[in-house]
Chain A
Amino acid sequence: MANAAHGAHAADEHHDGLGHHISPLSTYIAVYLGLLVLTVVTVLVSYAELPPAQSIPAAVAVASVKATLVAAWFMHLKYDKRFNIFIFSAAVWFMAVFFLFTLFDLTTRGTVLETNDHHEWRIDKEEGTG
């Protein structure tokens, strides 16, 4: 980091108050329109009567794009300190770990030892489907 460049940057920051990025109005409008379009998309997809194996990934994918738009532009993460981006990403990562490992347990109960398979819900389920 050159001192001169840093100095110039600091001067800019002073000029801008805190030097935080101020997005133009058009950016906010564009993000908002994008969010509306994606809302329409996700509603239309739900009328396509897809099987859950396709509709769930589709819904989650669209929601994730919308969430990224909100986090990056409305919440300014795109222009934020990298450490805040790290904090946010870490939370998403640990949420994924939490979901995945709980699902490992949930989906494999009863496949290791038959005696583990004593949960009431599983009995109910067999009665319901059989």
Chain B
Amino acid sequence: MSAAAEHGHEHHPPYLAHHFFNMNQQADSVKMGMWLFLVQEILFFAGLFMAYIAMRYIYPDTWLAAAEELDKVMGATNTVVLLTSSLTMALGVRAAQMGNNKAVAGWCAATLLGAYGFMIIKYIEYSHKLHVGLLPGKFYSFEGLEQAATEAPQIFFSVYFMMTGVHGLHVVIGIGVIFWIMMKALGNSFNSENYAAVENVGLYWHLVDLIWIFLFPLLYLVR
């Protein structure tokens, strides 16, 4: 025990919390905690996907008709934007693994551009829907859909706004944490041993991408 204590004392960088033996143990623990949070996110979104499945099962014709009102081109563009930002984030984590703080900040900036791009396109889509009345529940006032083809378009748009809205909220939170990582990288906070924060923010951002990978075909490419 005293040998272990001495060993721990020898290599005790300031970023190693005192209750961990070494950086390996600390990094593994932090990452496992992040994965537990991420699966909570997956199961949380599963509830929304279940709502989608149930409503689509009950109103199959509504789904086919109402989804036509979404813009496939905007959805596909946003998919490419988000996938690209996922790549830049992955390269940011890679730069952190190699201890290159400048590159981490640069890749974070590129990822932020993607995140802003995604939100701008989302804003254009939302404002169009607000304008023509493609809205959830009682706020629905669009008159372009034939009544025969659709029983409850307001339910489709309830599901659409709930799923993309909660996803969009995650993008906004992502912008915040990626900005935080960028500022820390600019302050030379990371090295090849201490980069768990970059890695975990990266994991979070990839999860946001992962959810969009399912949202895009299920909402935009119904037909």
Q: Please list the residues of chain A having a beta carbon within 8 angstroms of any beta carbon in chain B.
A: 13, 16-20, 22-23, 25, 28-29, 31-32, 35-36, 39, 42-43, 45-46, 49, 52, 55, 59-60, 62-63, 66-67, 70-71, 73-75, 80-81, 83-84, 87-88, 90-92, 94-95, 98-99, 102-103, 106-107, 121, 124-125, 128
Contact = CB atoms under 8 A, between A and B. Distances in A.
B43 A42 contact: no
Interface in B80-113: 80, 83-84, 86-87, 89-91, 94, 97-99
A52 B23 CA distance: 51
Contacts of A35: 83, 86
Chain B interface residue bracket vs A:
35 or more
Given A98-B50, A103-B57, A124-B151, A91 B43 contact: yes
A128 B151 CA distance: 7
B27 A18 contact: yes
B28 A81 contact: yes
A18 B35 contact: no
Contacts of B87: 28-29, 31-32, 74
B60 A74 contact: no
A74 B94 CA distance: 10
User: A interface, by DSSP: helix, strand, loop or mixed?
Assistant: helix
A28 B90 CA distance: 8
Contact of A88 (B23, B39, B97, B152): B39
Contacts of B201: none
A64 to B, nearest CB: 8
A95 B46 contact: yes
A90 B38 CA distance: 12
Interface of B: 23-24, 27-28, 31-32, 35-36, 38-39, 42-43, 46, 49-50, 53-54, 57-61, 64, 72, 76, 79-80, 83-84, 86-87, 89-91, 94, 97-99, 151-152, 191-193, 202-203, 206-207, 209-210, 213-214, 216-218, 220-223
Sorted nearest first, the 9 A-B pairs with minimum C-beta distance are A17-B192, A91-B39, A46-B221, A59-B217, A95-B46, A32-B87, A17-B193, A128-B151, A74-B90
B32 A84 contact: yes
B50 A90 contact: no
Contacts of A106: 54, 57-58
Nearest to A83: B32
Nearest to B31: A84
A103 B221 contact: no
A84 B35 contact: yes
19 contacts: A17-B99, A17-B191, A18-B192, A23-B94, A28-B87, A31-B87, A32-B83, A32-B84, A49-B223, A59-B218, A63-B214, A67-B210, A71-B206, A74-B86, A75-B206, A84-B31, A87-B35, A88-B39, A125-B59
Given A63-B217, A103-B57, A124-B151, A39 B203 contact: no
